[in-house]
């Protein structure tokens, strides 16, 4: 009780800090220097219609590489953690059978979901969306598969290969930027093309594709890893 | 020089590639990992070489083909190169160390390790705020993964607690970053710094900055938001803890530093405050720790706190900041990594389990190197850093902070050296150290790195501050050389040592002024004579010679020191060396600890005193002590004098001495008593020579010294009276004798100083002699309790003669040299302005008889015991120096002028009045006269005639045995009940025992108990609950906000 | 034999065991020898005069006669004026006064005290008990004739003799000494075996060396 | 409007924190943290928002040359993406930990995992 | 002052006079003390008889080398003390060997005999000897303190440590004696004197009835004789120091004898009246009564 009261008081104080942040916040009326640079230069320099994508993949590409690595790490650690548990796998307990609805629905929906995912990451430089979103969409398809067929053998090695290769290529493209263009992760290794076209914005679509594959693979691995813990419960 | 981006790319590419390998081929994956890590280390190594050797300039590395602040950029400068090298090397070695675990875990674990290192490097390299956040998150997540490497099940909960806190932290960090971006329009650190809005004028930026700052600082594990870190330290795999302590901390520190540059000086006080609080609290909490890894964890927190203080003092330290911060950082990182690696070799988790290391001298050496690094002892980088830090802090008058730092450092030294003592002295556990080569190699690399860095810092300090590189000074090099020769038999090393010392004396003979010559003579030639006794030792005597030579080297360097830096360095060296020597005694563990603590405490006072005196100047010649500004001069005097008096064991600060001197080995006791104590006196000589009389609040400090000295003499003697242990008795006697010498110095007149010098020489001779003699007896009889001995005169005549001559000399009875001291003393006090302290000293004089008589009676006279009937004379090599000392004593008694005359003249420089006149054999003062030769002859003639007469009359005397005594017509039963020796001065205790109540011991004991208990109670704060830790963090934020903003 | 005088094995600090035989190791075993006087007669006469004028009595009362010794120190009798004084240690005394009956147990102490005095030394037997056992003549536990055990220079009869008799006796002793006839110590050394045999005959628990130096 | 969004964000953070420190069930704590994460993301997005402007995508309505006057700040948008992904990663990790912790003690009570202390 | 060979016979002469004077003086004192008890006391030549007797004893034993050295130290201490101080003021013949050192030498040489005696006694292996030494040393620590202070005070007063110079400064009338010019010092010194004379109330060291008889328990025959010789010399030698420091010294033997006798009598008067102190009592007594006088002496001088 005392602990909760203390927590409340502390959070009240933190809330005070937040309040003063809130009160002190005045929305910008003009874009600040950085944003203005992006607004002015993205089209010409990067050739990406989606400015956010340009920032994510190119200007702040290192962040994104980190981001991908975060997911990679999470997946790897998840694998580590759960792998240690899996060794003492116990007798499988009988699961309630999966319903007809789910099985059929998944058969219909999964290809569509996959397709949507691919669309989202390939068009990342043109429309809202991108590799992460696309990857997540793909993973949701995998989730559906998992739900529909919990006992189905899962192609771990394939997914792992996809994940690894995507990651390696991403790094290689980044290095190509360092060698061939203006710097690490510079997307202008390939020609910029026409603003708004599918094949434009240099390597951005490729990177987003790789990210999409990688994120999708990673999420899938995570999901399957977590799903396998069910057997313990 | 490869772009550091390759470092990032290599790590990522390798991690990703590992997934392609067949999971069963862990060996190959491990090889790839090692190669990658080596590559990652090679990149910054190339840069570092470029910066250091080729004078390259720092480079900005752009990404994405756009310029900052619009794209992320990295920077590679000297600091970054050094830090990334540190991180990657630690990582490489840890990976080596982790071989089995990594192979067992497979490629995922290796990938996580590489990403972690990449993330640490990224934190160091990046100049973009949000990028920093990303790297931090990478580091956090990989940390959570690596914690799982541990075999310890508890690591799991530790990792989860860490995740809880890091969630909170990242929330604050993100909000802070975004609001900072909003306020400044940029994410680039440099741009943000240059566009910095003045503190206070943009509250939202300040607030945002606060959030970022507090979040990053939390990565430094500040008190109290650090419970999670401790749990990790305790439960994680030691190799990971090494990484966590060395690499992660390095990265976080640099991040905070970068942030502080953005925030500007307005935030420095907050950093300082957090740092010092952490430093003190962590050290305090470490005190009651019994678990080695947790202790190291606390120590890590403390060290990082200290470095944070340094960063917070950037406004003062200016250009010197990197030198200091890096000095402390590398010392911490190397030592902590090494210690964690070592902890993996030790089976048990209790501090005492480290005794297992004892069988491996190299590992012991590693351990002590690490401890010395952590406690900032010379010649390691921390020492130079500490010196600089204190110098600047004192120069700018931040004395409270300085005091807090020194107190914390002392506490830290306390638990580290206690641990070292455990390792050397506690019973070794059954299971020995299981050192696989790949686990031992990292430790050795760390040791080597420590020493190399020590050399390097010495060079740096030579370039920047004009100090000598300590490792290049001949005495120290000579001493350290014995480390390499430790495999030789003891007698060879002993010969080498003696030759070296004598040779060094003759080489440098001409460089000393008369006063220093006396000290150099005692330290070098005297030391060589004492070392003769060491021929008695057999075998290799591992560790003895490096320690002894370190002590002697320190003393020689002390005499030769010109500026305060050299002086202080020498002081620490001799302290360290003597500590090792003392620790060698069989039961000396607690005493050695109290010795090193008092010594370090004293050293810190000296350090502060010198720093205060220098007023910020980089170079401060000892002689300049005389020109210290009058406002600070008395304080300087007070600090230095107290520091030196710790070494001379002035009353109140004396409690370390008896145990330390008594428990030391036979040939060590004379070194630490007869010779080492003189270092303190030398310091006082130097101090008084330069500063003279000082007044503080109208009180003349030399007058205070006079009282202290008088009470030291009295109480030292009184306590000696009540000892049952012969060596303790001698040790207390040393306290009393040092009181006399101090008294002479504090008289501040010509003869007083001469008397002090006389005591220096005399005390060296007779205390060395007595300690050797008593040591020899103790060796033969197997006990130091005097009442267990008795009647040994017939069996150990040489030892008896030494003691006899010694006690006559100490008691000041003519015709031996002690009388000269007393005579000069009387003349000196007649010339002095003070009268009352003499009363105490007069009382002290005769008290000396009591213990001296007890010494000789209880050991050599009286009744011989059954079991001692067959003991032999002390070994030749122990008896030989005693006889040399007897000769020296007689020579000095006959011709004190040999040693004193030149000094007497020299002292005219300081006190033109009141010198002595030396005419032939006669010595005349303003008051009286004294002719040592005449006295000797008269006494000898009377004595010899009477003796001859008595012998003649009793030529037919029947020689009887020990029970042929009149016993009220009965007979004695057993020698034990007939030897009157135990509690010999019972009536005296009844009368004056109240004076020797152990007030000082009680006081210091209560103080340490208090600290211990306080630490023990306060550490309950860390209740192990993740939610509590989260609350601690929140509380930390609120408190810092309340106090700081 | 008392336990503390038995042979025992002890272990030295170096771990070597050895035997300690107290009577041999702790006591001097030499027998007394006859000590001739100074070679030059006048010197011996001077010494004898000095011995006579400086009678230092061992303060050791054996029986009821001891009560008669005390008054000698009082102003009434003031033996000091005759050069007589009491010493608390046999080393410094030269006159042993056996003041009354001597139980066997006390005899042992008396012998020890006597032997610890230095040659020349004198024994005075006080009262009848020292002559023939007196009223204790048939006691199982007292000796009857002192001179069988110690060389007595002078007996003072009475039961008990008054202090005046003591003073008179001391005067007689002085005359003997001055005449050089008080050589009890040498007599004791000469007839040492006889004395010892007598002593050991009555003292059954003999637990000391034959001569107590 | 922005302030409302931001306030909601902050409120979510506080609610999340409170949940995290007052619920002893580890899974509930994780949920609480995801709530706080959402709050953070909301705040981030709110910071970049500018009234009356449109998304930073160049198309027919937003011509490259005039973009600066029409679009909102794209940077927080880019950052929030990263933040979300990282949040997901951490959440996954916490879940894994939760699983292992449960496996160890068959309990999800955070107060039971206090072997390390002092 | 320099050495010449004639000093040796002259010193021996002093020694001879003082030994005889001491023998007679101690007998006289004993007689006086006896008169207090209404006895006649010993004969005036009794000490000679005792001395001869002891030298004339035929047998002796020894406990070892230090047993010999005890009396030797003791007597060397007595003779040395006597010879290091000029006996008769203004007399070359009786200035003895005072060229060797000043007052401090004399003061510290007092301990020479004490220390040696303690060693010899301890060598005898007798517990009483050790107990006696323990008591004696304990007592001496505080008993000597007032003397040291008084000497310090006197040295400050006359600005010299030379005994001759101190005596010289007191010449010219009784009012110049330190006794009157520095009464506190003299008072303190005289109290210390009581403590050093082995007379009641400070004679617990040898306490004949309790630890017969303390340090010399085992000493006998010629050893004892040597100590008896010292008992004749040492008090006189010590009193000479007192006389020179506080009572104007002596310019001739009659004055010398008178002053020595009178100073000696101080301790006798006190001794015959007071019972014995235990060690801790006497220590306290010196600290409470004598020490403040000494402190006053050095403060007021």
| Spatial distance between the Cα atoms of E71 and E223, rounded to a whole number of angstroms | 6
- Rounded CA-CA distance D97/D101 in Å is 6
Burial of B168 by CB count in 10 Å (0-12 exposed, 13-18 middle, 19+ buried)? Answer: buried
Over its C-alpha atoms, chain A yields an Rg (Å, rounded) of 22
User: Which of D96, D100, D101 is the best substitution to test chain A (most A C-beta atoms within 10 A)?
Assistant: D96
Long-range contacts of E251-260 (CB under 8 A, 24+ apart): E251/E88, E251/E89, E251/E90, E251/E91, E252/E88, E253/E17, E253/E88, E256/E87, E256/E88, E257/E21, E260/E21, E260/E25, E260/E236
* CB-count exposure of residue B973 (10 Å: 0-12, 13-18, 19+): middle
Q: Cα(B582)–Cα(B547) distance, rounded to whole angstroms?
A: 9
What is the per-residue pLDDT for A95? 63
Strands (E), B454-603: none
CB contact B1018 to D (< 8 Å): no
Q: Do B960 and E63 touch (CB under 8 A)?
A: yes
Which residues are C57's β-sheet partners?
C86, C95
Instruction: Tell me what pLDDT residue B66 has.
Output: 79
* Tokens at C82, concatenated: 């005759």
B975: helix, strand or coil: helix
Question: B372, B693, B675: which is closest to B552 by C-alpha?
Answer: B675
Asked whether the beta carbons of residue A71 and residue D88 sit closer than 8 angstroms, the reply is yes
CA B72 to centroid of chain Cα atoms: 46
In Å, how far is A80's CA from the nearest CA of chain B?
7
Cα gap B1027→B1029, rounded to integer Å? 5
Alpha carbon E232 to its chain's center? 9
Q: What percent of chain D has pLDDT over 70?
A: 99
Burial class of B1006 by CB neighbour count within 10 A (0 to 12, 13 to 18, 19+):
exposed
Largest interatomic CA distance in chain C: 65
Q: What is the total count of domains within chain C?
A: 1
In this prediction, residue A87 has a pLDDT band, given cuts at 50, 70 and 90, of: very low
CB distance E240 to E82 below 8 Å:
yes
> From the list B930, B938, B967, which residue is nearest E80 (CB)?
B938
Assembly ipTM = 0.88
**Rounded to whole angstroms, how far apart are CA atoms A192 and A41?**
13
Q: DSSP 3-state assignment of B159? A: helix
Chain A contact for B430, CB < 8 A?
Answer: no
Dump pLDDT digits (tens) for E100-121. 888 999 888 888 888 888 899 8
Nearest chain E Cα to C55, which residue? E50
Task: Kindly report the average pLDDT of chain D as a whole number.
Answer: 86
Q: Is C70 inside any structural domain?
A: yes
Cβ-defined contact of C11 to B867 (cutoff 8 Å): yes
Of B814, B926, B816, B936, which Cα lies nearest the Cα of E161?
A: B926
For residue B373, the model assigns a pLDDT of 93
Chain D residues whose CB is inside 8 A of the A229 CB are 99
Helix axis angle, C41-53 to E46-56, nearest 10°: 120
Q: Torsion angle of alpha carbons A163, A168, A174, A175, nearest 10°?
A: 180
With an 8 Å Cβ cutoff, are B156 and D101 in contact? yes
Cβ-based burial of A2 (10 A; exposed 0-12, middle 13-18, buried ≥19): exposed
Query: Does chain C touch chain B (at least 3 C-beta pairs within 8 Å)?
Result: yes
Averaged in consecutive runs of 10 residues, what is the pLDDT profile of chain B (1045 residues)? Answer: 86 87 83 92 92 87 82 89 92 91 85 92 92 91 84 85 91 90 86 66 78 91 88 89 90 91 87 93 91 92 93 86 90 92 88 88 91 91 91 89 93 92 86 81 92 91 82 90 91 94 93 91 94 90 91 93 91 93 90 93 93 87 87 91 93 90 91 92 92 87 92 93 93 93 91 90 92 93 91 93 92 87 89 87 88 92 91 92 93 87 88 86 89 91 94 91 90 90 90 88 92 90 88 91 82
**Contact present, B209 and B176 (Cβ < 8 Å):** yes
Q: What is the full DSSP assignment across E215-256?
A: GGGG--HHHHHHHHHHHHHHHHHHHHHHHHHHS---SSHHHH
> CB B1027 to CB D21 under 8 A?
yes
- Please report the pLDDT score of residue A88 as a whole number: 46
Residue A93 has pLDDT above 60, yes or no: no
Q: Is B61 helix (H, G, I), strand (E, B) or coil?
A: strand
As a whole number, the mean pLDDT across chain A is: 81
- Decide: C144 and C133 in contact? Cβ < 8 Å: yes
Residue C83 in domain: yes
For the residues of C122-169, what is the DSSP string, one character each? EEEEESTHHHH-GGGTT-SSB-S-GGGTS--SEEE-SSSPPHHHHHHH
Chain A residues closer than 8 Å to B105 by CB? 80
Confidence of residue A233 (pLDDT cuts 50, 70, 90): very low
Say yes or no to pLDDT of E16 above 70.
Answer: yes
Percent of chain E with pLDDT over 90: 60
Domain count, chain A: 1
Q: Does B63 touch chain E (CB under 8 A)?
A: no
What pLDDT was estimated at residue A92?
A: 54
Looking at beta carbons, which residues of chain A come within 8 Å of B15? Answer: 69, 72, 167
Q: What pLDDT sits at residue A143?
A: 85
Closest of B600, B594, B558 to residue B576, by C-alpha: B600
pLDDT at B469: 84
Domain covering D2-112 assigned CATH 3.40.50.2000 in the classification: no
Residue A90 has pLDDT above 50, yes or no: no
Residue C30 contacts residue E62 (beta carbons within 8 Å)? no
Residue E26 sits at φ, ψ, to 5 deg, of -65, -35
Nearest one of B766, B793, B795 to B884, comparing CA atoms: B766
pLDDT level of residue A135 (50, 70, 90 thresholds): confident
Q: How many residues does chain C have?
A: 213
Contact B185 A21 (CB under 8 A): no
Q: Is B917 on the interface with E (CB under 8 A)?
A: no
Whether the bond between C193 and the residue before it is cis, its omega within 30 degrees of 0, is no
Of the candidates E81, E13, E6, which has an alpha carbon nearest to the alpha carbon of residue B938?
E81
Distance of alpha carbon C175 from alpha carbon E86, whole angstroms = 45
Domain range for A95: 2-229
For chain A, the farthest-separated pair of C-alpha atoms sits apart, in whole angstroms, at 64
Nearest to C61 by CA among C94, C102, C116, C93: C102
Q: Is residue C188 part of a domain?
A: yes
Residues of chain B above pLDDT 90, percent:
53
End-to-end Cα separation, chain B, in angstroms? 44
- Nearest residue to E83 via CA among E72, E71, E69, E93: E93
B817-831 and E103-123 helices cross at what angle (nearest 10)?
A: 140
The answer to whether residue C18 sits within a structural domain is no
Residues of chain C contacting B970 with CB distance shorter than 8 Å: 109, 112
| B511 CB-contact burial (10 Å; exposed 0-12 / middle 13-18 / buried 19+) | exposed
Residues of chain C below pLDDT 50: none
- Pick from B15, B18, B204: which is nearest to A24 by CB? B204
Tell me the β-bridge partners of B73: B62
Set of chain E residues whose Cβ sits within 8 Å of the Cβ of C51: 53, 56
Residues B29 and B21: their CA atoms lie apart, in Å, by 7
User: With contact defined as beta carbons under 8 Å apart, do A118 and A212 qualify?
Assistant: yes
Around Cβ B560, how many Cβ atoms within 10 Å?
18
Q: Which parts of B294-349 are beta strand (E)?
A: none
Q: What is the pLDDT of residues D9-56, one digit of tens each?
A: 999 999 999 999 888 899 999 999 999 999 999 999 888 888 888 888
* Contact between chains at B171 and D13 (C-beta distance less than 8 A): yes
**Interface touch C110/B969, C-beta < 8 Å:** yes
């Amino acid at each position: 009780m005392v602990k909760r009261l203390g927590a409340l008081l502390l959070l009240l104080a933190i809330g005070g800090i937040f309040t003063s942040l809130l009160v002190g916040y005045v929305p910008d009326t003009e874009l600040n220097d950085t944003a203005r640079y992006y607004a002015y230069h993205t089209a010409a320099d990067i050739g990406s219609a989606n400015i956010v994508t340009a920032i994510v993949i190119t200007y702040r590409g290192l962040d994104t590489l980190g981001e991908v690595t975060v997911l990679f790490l999470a997946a790897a650690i998840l694998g580590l953690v759960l792998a240690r548990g899996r060794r003492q796998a116990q007798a499988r307990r009988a699961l309630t059978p999966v319903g007809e609805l789910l099985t059929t629905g998944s058969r219909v929906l999964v290809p569509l979901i996959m397709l949507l995912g691919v669309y989202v990451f390939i068009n990342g430089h043109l429309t809202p969306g991108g590799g992460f979103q696309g990857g997540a969409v793909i993973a949701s398809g995998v989730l559906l598969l998992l739900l529909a067929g919990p006992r189905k053998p899962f192609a771990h090695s394939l997914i792992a290969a996809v994940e690894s290769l995507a990651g390696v290529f991403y790094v290689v493209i980044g290095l190509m930027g360092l060698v061939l263009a203006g710097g690490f992760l510079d997307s202008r290794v390939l020609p910029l093309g026409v603003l708004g076209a599918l094949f434009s914005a240099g390597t951005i679509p490729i990177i987003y594709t790789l990210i999409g594959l990688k994120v999708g693979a990673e999420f899938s691995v995570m999901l399957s890893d977590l799903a396998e813990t069910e057997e313990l419960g | 020089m490869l772009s550091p981006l390759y470092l990032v790319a290599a790590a990522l590419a390798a991690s990703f590639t590992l997934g392609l390998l067949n999971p069963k081929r862990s060996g190959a994956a491990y090889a790839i990992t090692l190669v990658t890590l080596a590559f990652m280390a090679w990149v910054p190594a190339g840069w570092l070489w470029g910066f250091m050797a080729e004078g390259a300039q720092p480079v900005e590395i752009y990404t994405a083909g756009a310029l900052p602040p619009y794209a992320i950029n990295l920077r590679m400068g000297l600091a970054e190169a050094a830090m990334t090298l540190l991180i990657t090397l630690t990582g490489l070695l840890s990976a080596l160390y982790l071989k089995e675990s990594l192979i067992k875990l497979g490629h995922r674990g290796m990938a996580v390790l590489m990403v972690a290192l990449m993330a640490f490097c990224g934190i160091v390299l990046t100049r973009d705020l949000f990028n920093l956040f990303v790297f931090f998150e990478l580091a956090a997540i990989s940390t959570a993964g690596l914690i799982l490497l541990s075999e310890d099940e508890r690591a799991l909960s530790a990792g989860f607690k860490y995740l809880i806190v890091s969630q909170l932290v990242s929330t604050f960090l993100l909000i802070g970053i975004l609001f900072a971006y909003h306020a400044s329009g940029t994410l680039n650190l440099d741009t943000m710094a240059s566009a910095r809005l003045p503190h206070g004028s943009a509250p939202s930026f300040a607030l945002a900055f606060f959030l970022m700052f507090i979040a990053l600082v939390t990565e430094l594990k500040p008190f109290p938001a650090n419970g999670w870190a401790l749990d990790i330290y305790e439960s994680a795999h030691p190799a990971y803890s090494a990484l966590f302590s060395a690499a992660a901390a390095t990265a976080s520190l640099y991040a905070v530093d970068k942030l502080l540059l953005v925030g500007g000086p307005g935030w420095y006080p907050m950093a300082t405050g957090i740092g010092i609080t952490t430093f003190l609290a962590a050290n305090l909490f470490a005190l009651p720790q019994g678990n080695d890894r947790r202790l190291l964890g606390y120590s890590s927190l403390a060290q990082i706190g200290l470095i944070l203080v340094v960063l917070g003092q950037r406004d003062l330290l200016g250009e010197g900041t990197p030198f200091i911060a890096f000095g402390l950082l590398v010392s911490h990182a190397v030592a902590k990594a090494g210690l964690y690696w070592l902890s993996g070799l030790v089976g048990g988790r209790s501090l005492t389990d480290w005794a297992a290391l004892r069988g491996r001298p190299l590992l012991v050496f590693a351990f002590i190197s690490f401890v010395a690094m952590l406690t900032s002892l010379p010649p390691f980088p921390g020492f130079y850093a500490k010196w600089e830090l204190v110098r600047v802090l004192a120069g700018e008058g931040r004395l409270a902070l300085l005091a807090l730092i020194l107190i914390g450092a002392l506490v830290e030294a306390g638990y580290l050296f206690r641990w070292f003592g455990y390792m050397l002295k506690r019973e070794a556990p059954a299971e020995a150290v299981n050192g696989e080569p790949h686990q031992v190699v990292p430790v050795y690399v760390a040791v080597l790195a420590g020493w190399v860095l020590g050399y390097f810092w010495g060079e740096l300090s030579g370039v920047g501050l004009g100090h000598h590189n300590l490792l290049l000074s001949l005495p120290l090099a000579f001493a350290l050389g014995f480390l390499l020769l430790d495999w030789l038999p003891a007698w060879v090393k002993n010969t080498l040592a003696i030759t070296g010392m004598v040779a060094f004396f003759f080489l440098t003979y001409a460089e000393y002024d008369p006063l220093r010559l006396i000290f150099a003579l005692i330290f070098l030639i005297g030391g060589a004579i004492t070392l003769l006794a060491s021929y008695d030792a057999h075998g290799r005597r591992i560790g003895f010679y490096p320690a002894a030579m370190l002590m002697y080297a320190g003393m020689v360097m002390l005499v030769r020191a010109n500026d305060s830096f050299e002086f202080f360095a020498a002081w620490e060296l001799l302290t360290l060396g003597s500590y090792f020597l003392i620790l060698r005694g069989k039961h000396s563990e607690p005493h050695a600890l109290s010795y090193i603590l008092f010594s370090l405490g004293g050293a810190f006072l000296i350090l502060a005193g010198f720093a205060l005196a220098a007023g910020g100047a980089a170079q401060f010649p000892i002689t300049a002590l005389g020109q210290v500004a009058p406002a600070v001069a008395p304080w300087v005097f007070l600090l230095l004098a107290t520091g030196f008096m710790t070494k001379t064991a002035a009353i109140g600060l004396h409690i370390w001495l008896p145990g330390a001197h008594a428990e030391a080995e036979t040939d060590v006791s004379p070194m630490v008593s007869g010779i080492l104590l003189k270092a303190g006196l030398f310091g006082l000589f130097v101090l008084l020579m330069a500063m003279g009389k000082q007044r503080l609040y109208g009180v003349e400090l030399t007058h205070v010294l006079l009282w202290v000295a008088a009470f030291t003499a009295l109480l030292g003697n009184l306590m000696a009276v009540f000892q049952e242990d012969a060596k303790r008795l001698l040790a207390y006697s040393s306290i009393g004798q040092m009181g006399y010498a101090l008294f002479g110095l504090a008289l501040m007149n010509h003869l007083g100083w001469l008397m002090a010098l006389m005591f220096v020489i005399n005390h060296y001779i007779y205390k060395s002699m007595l300690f050797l003699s008593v040591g020899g007896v103790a060796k033969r009889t197997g006990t130091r309790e005097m009442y267990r001995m008795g009647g040994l005169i017939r069996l150990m005549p040489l030892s008896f003669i030494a003691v006899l001559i010694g006690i006559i000399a100490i008691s000041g009875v003519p015709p031996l040299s002690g009388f000269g001291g007393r005579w000069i003393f009387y003349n000196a006090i007649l010339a002095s302005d003070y009268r009352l302290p003499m009363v105490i000293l007069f009382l002290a004089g005769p008290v000396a008889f009591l213990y001296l008589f007890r010494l000789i009676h209880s050991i050599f006279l009286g009744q011989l015991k059954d079991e001692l009937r067959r003991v032999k004379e002390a070994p030749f090599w122990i008896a030989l120096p005693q006889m040399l000392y007897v000769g020296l004593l007689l020579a000095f008694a006959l011709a004190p002028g040999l040693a004193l005359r030149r000094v007497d003249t020299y002292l005219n420089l300081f006190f033109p009045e009141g010198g002595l006149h030396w005419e032939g054999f006669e010595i005349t003062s303003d008051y009286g006269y004294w002719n040592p030769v005449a006295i000797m002859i008269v006494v000898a003639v009377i004595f010899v005639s009477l003796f001859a007469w008595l012998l003649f009359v009793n030529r037919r005397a029947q020689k009887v045995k020990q029970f042929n005594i009149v016993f009220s017509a009965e007979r004695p039963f057993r020698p034990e009940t007939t030897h009157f020796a135990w509690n010999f001065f019972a009536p005296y205790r009844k009368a004056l025992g109240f004076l020797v109540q152990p007030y000082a011991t009680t006081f210091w004991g209560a103080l340490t108990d208090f600290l211990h208990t306080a630490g023990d109670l306060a550490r309950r704060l860390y209740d192990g609950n993740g939610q509590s830790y989260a609350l601690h963090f929140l509380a930390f934020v609120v408190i810092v906000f309340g106090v700081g903003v | 034999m008392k336990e503390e005088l038995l042979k025992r094995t002890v272990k030295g600090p170096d771990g070597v065991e050895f035997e300690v035989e107290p009577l041999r190791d702790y006591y001097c075993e030499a027998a007394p020898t006859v000590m001739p006087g100074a070679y030059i007669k006048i010197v011996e006469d001077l010494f004898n005069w000095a011995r006579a004028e400086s009678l230092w009595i061992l303060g050791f009362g054996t029986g009821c006669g001891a009560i008669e010794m005390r008054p000698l120190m009082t102003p009434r009798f003031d033996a000091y004026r005759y050069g007589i004084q009491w010493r608390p240690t046999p080393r410094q005394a030269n006159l042993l006064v056996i003041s009354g009956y001597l139980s066997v147990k006390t005899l042992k102490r008396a012998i020890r005290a006597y032997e610890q005095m230095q040659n020349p030394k004198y024994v005075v037997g006080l009262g009848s008990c020292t002559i023939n056992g007196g009223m204790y003549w048939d006691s199982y536990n007292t000796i009857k004739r002192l001179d069988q055990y110690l060389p007595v220079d002078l007996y003072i009869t009475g039961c008990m003799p008054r202090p005046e008799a003591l003073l008179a006796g001391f005067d007689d002793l002085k005359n003997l000494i001055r005449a050089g006839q008080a050589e009890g110590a040498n007599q004791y050394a000469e007839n040492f075996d006889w004395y010892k045999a007598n002593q050991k005959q009555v003292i059954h628990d003999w637990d000391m060396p034959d001569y107590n130096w | 409007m922005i302030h409302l969004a931001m306030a909601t964000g902050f409120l979510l953070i506080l609610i999340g924190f409170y949940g995290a420190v007052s619920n002893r069930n580890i899974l509930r704590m994780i949920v609480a943290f995801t709530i706080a994460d959402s709050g953070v993301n909301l705040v981030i997005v709110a910071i970049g928002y500018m009234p009356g402007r449109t998304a930073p995508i160049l198309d027919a309505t937003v011509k490259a040359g005039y973009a600066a006057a029409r679009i909102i700040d794209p940077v927080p948008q880019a950052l929030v993406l990263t933040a979300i992904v990282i949040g997901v990663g951490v959440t996954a990790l916490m879940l894994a930990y939760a699983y292992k912790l449960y496996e160890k003690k068959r309990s999800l009570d955070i107060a039971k995992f206090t072997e390390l202390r002092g | 002052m320099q050495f010449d060979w004639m000093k040796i016979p002259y010193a021996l002469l002093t020694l001879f006079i003082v030994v005889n004077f001491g023998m007679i003086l101690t007998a006289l004192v004993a007689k006086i003390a006896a008169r207090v008890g209404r006895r006649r006391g010993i004969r005036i030549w009794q000490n000679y008889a005792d001395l001869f007797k002891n030298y004339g004893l035929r047998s002796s034993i020894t406990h070892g080398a230090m047993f010999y050295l005890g009396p030797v130290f003791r007597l060397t201490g007595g003779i040395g003390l006597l010879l290091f101080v000029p006996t008769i003021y203004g007399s070359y013949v009786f200035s003895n060997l005072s060229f060797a050192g000043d007052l401090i030498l004399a003061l510290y040489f007092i301990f020479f005999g004490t220390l040696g005696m303690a060693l010899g006694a301890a060598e005898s292996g007798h517990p009483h000897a050790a107990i006696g030494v323990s008591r004696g040393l304990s007592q001496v620590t505080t008993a000597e303190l007032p003397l040291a202070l008084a000497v310090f005070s006197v040295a400050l007063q006359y600005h010299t440590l030379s005994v001759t110079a101190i005596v010289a400064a007191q010449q010219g009338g009784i009012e110049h004696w330190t006794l009157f010019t520095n009464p506190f010092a003299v008072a303190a010194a005289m109290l210390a004197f009581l403590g050093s004379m082995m007379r009641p109330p400070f004679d617990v060291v040898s306490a004949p009835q309790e630890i017969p008889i303390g340090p010399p328990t085992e000493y006998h025959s010629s050893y004892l004789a040597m100590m008896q010789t010292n008992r004749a010399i040492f008090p006189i030698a010590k009193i000479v120091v007192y006389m020179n420091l506080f009572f104007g010294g002596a310019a001739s033997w009659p004055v010398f004898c008178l002053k020595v006798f009178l100073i000696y009598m101080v301790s006798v008067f006190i001794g015959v009246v007071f019972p014995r102190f235990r060690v801790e009592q006497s220590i306290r007594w010196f600290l409470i009564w004598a020490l403040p006088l000494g402190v006053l002496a050095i403060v007021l001088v």
